[in-house]
Amino acid sequence: MKELDLQALNNADKWLCSDNISKEIKDEILRLKAEDTEEFNDAFYKKLAFGTGGLRGIMGVGTNRMNSIVVAMSTQGFANYILQENKGKAEIKVVIAFDSRNNSKDFAQITARVFAGNGFKVYLFENIHPTPLLSFAVRELKCDAGVMLTASHNPKEYNGYKAYWNDGGQLVFPHDENVIAKVNEISDISQVKMQQDMNGITILGDEFDEIYFDKIKTLSLADEDLEQYKDIKIAYTPLHGTGYRIVPQSLHLFGFNDVVCQKEQSIPDGNFPTTKSPNPEERTALELGIKLMEEQDSDILLATDPDADREALTIRDNNGKVMLLNGNQTATLLTYYLLERYGELKKFTGKDFIIKTIVSSELIKVLAEDYNVKCYDVLTGFKWIADKILALEGKENYIGGGEESYGYLIGDFVRDKDSVSTCCIIAEMCAWAKQQGKTIYDILMEIYRKYGYYQEGLVSIVRKGKTGAEEIEKMMTDFRNNPPQSIIGHKVVMIKDYELKIAYDITNNSKTKLELPKSNVLQYFLEDGSKISVRPSGTEPKIKFYFGVKTQFAENDDFVSLNQKSEEKIEQIKKELKLV
């Protein structure tokens, strides 16, 4: 049996000695200490870090776990910062939502009671709601902040706490670092001001959804001719999450009535009983949805994660075979549809722009350039897309944006990923393709033939503990100090170092300043149009390698052959960088 960790003992003793912590929790601490040393040490050896995105961790007793005490203390720190930033304001408002995960509702009510205890006007959604509805509510109710209780697409053992600012976006600098500092000042539960009941807290019922529905209907780019093509067959799975009601309702509002929901996964359940992980990026999560798609002979399958901010799209190729699209392919299709329809409907203002993250496909930028629309790159994380929209508000016109990890946003009345409106626009895009006698697959192939075939890949290397963190740091140092001159026979023509905020143009031996915030990311651009990005994760003990390779369509090429060529190219890069 492992020895008890000294720091874990000290942290646990503070809880055991506190008059503000229940006997039930204290009994569980003593049980862990006596029966499961390893679990005890992991639960108490440190505080669960409140990072730039809030909290995320395994649920359970302990300072390093997601539980009511950690949520209450973190909320007090967040409340202290909001109060500091709104001194003299007569009424400070906050809105709170939660997803279908175990304990999310309890954590949301604790969060609401702490804010109420600090004198805030508090709005709390009565039932589970998607993350984009929380972001929308912050803006619609003119709140000073918001909180979403969710661990997104993580396994069932996890829960989390996303913090939002008054623009409806997640915290960015300097608010993120300042909130972290305030949360770290809360060292004991006795520092928390918590109302003992729910009195005075305004409950938001489902009628609030109607306001959101009215907004998303304004995103439609359909015309009267498109109505007759809205009979496409749609299969949908919410993966036991918050989209179970709102996504089908939204599709019906857009005129899509042939929507069949995967029955078992339409039951909200934090145990996610039908899948190992409720992550729409993973094929295993979509197995029941694909089965439904095949049984119903559906044109597409839409899938959303538990808090319904991410969306996965499955289509059919020209042989009727099911084809899962990756996040970049869906973002590419959405970008193309938005730009093409803006042109057809003469909606361009001359000040239009789209946004992508730096690790997302360069094809999105190529599309924008062809339509004479600006494309802004931002750091990884959707909060940076929201931040860019805010910076350009009133100056330029945001059309849409997205990231490779299945997050997209069309229109600017939400400031986070929004799978609900995205599902509606995807359905509309399918009808638009059908109007032309085409499928989504046909549209994607046309894009590739015109602009080149772009394929992406990702390798995540996990290195746990202190030695793992040191190994990841050394890997970044080695790549930074000894960059490759060529990769798989193609010269490196540009290196972007976001830590040093410098772009090195190898072809003419020049440097330019990068305007994005400082971040520990390296990118290598090759002469053939391919791109390799290296980034340590900000929330997990891993380092990620993103690959984006470009292959030109030859006369006799088809999707299968191009995909094979590109996959081989990615595997070559992995071997050359010694990642496999």
- Residue 132: cis peptide before it, omega within 30 degrees of 0: no
- Set 74, 100, 135, 152: catalytic member: 152
Beta strands in 48-166 (DSSP E): 55-58, 93-98, 121-125, 145-149, 158-165
CATH class belonging to 212-450: alpha beta
Q: Which residue has the tokens 């350009």?
A: 392
CATH number for the domain whose boundaries are 453-576:
3.30.310
Any catalytic annotation for residue 537?
A: no
Q: How far apart are CA 47 and CA 26, in angstroms?
A: 17
| Residue 553 binned pLDDT confidence (cut-offs 50, 70, 90) | confident
Domain ranges of the chain: 1-43, 47-205, 212-450, 453-576
For residue 141, give the DSSP letter: T
Distance of CA 4 to the CA centre of its chain: 37
Q: Which fold has domain 47-205?
A: Alpha-D-Glucose-1,6-Bisphosphate; Chain A, domain 3 (3.40.120)
Query: Does residue 96 surpass a pLDDT of 80?
Result: yes
| Residue 542 binned pLDDT confidence (cut-offs 50, 70, 90) | confident
Q: Which residues have a Cβ under 8 Å from the Cβ of 409 and sit 6 or more positions away?
A: 382, 385, 400, 401, 402, 415, 416, 417, 418, 421, 422
Query: Does residue 318 surpass a pLDDT of 80?
Result: yes
Convert the pLDDT of each residue in 261-288 to its tens digit: 999 999 999 999 999 899 999 999 999 9
Is the separation of the CB atoms in 163 and 145 below 8 Å?
Answer: yes
Is the separation of the CB atoms in 516 and 525 below 8 Å?
Answer: no
Convert the pLDDT of each residue in 419-464 to its tens digit: 999 999 999 999 999 999 999 999 999 999 999 999 988 888 988 7
Q: Do 47-205 and 212-450 come out as alike in CATH topology?
A: yes
Buried b / exposed e across 123-155, counting CB within 10 Å, b at 16+?
bbbebbbbbbbbbbbbbbbebbbbbbbbbbbbe
Name the nearest CA neighbour of 95 among 164, 34, 9: 164
Convert the pLDDT of each residue in 191-242 to its tens digit: 999 999 999 999 999 999 999 999 999 999 998 889 999 999 999 999 999 9
Q: What is the mean pLDDT of residues 326-331?
A: 96
Its pTM stands at 0.94
Query: Does residue 1 surpass a pLDDT of 60?
Result: no
Convert the pLDDT of each residue in 154-191 to its tens digit: 999 999 999 999 999 999 999 999 999 999 999 999 99
Q: In what order do the strands lie in the sheet with 145-149?
A: 55-58, 158-165, 145-149, 93-98, 121-125, 202-204
Instruction: Quote the crossing angle between the two packed helices 327-344 and 419-435, to the nearest 10°.
Output: 60
Query: Does residue 313 surpass a pLDDT of 90?
Result: yes
| Residue 499 binned pLDDT confidence (cut-offs 50, 70, 90) | very high
Convert the pLDDT of each residue in 472-486 to its tens digit: 889 999 999 999 999
What is the overall mean pLDDT for the chain? Answer: 94
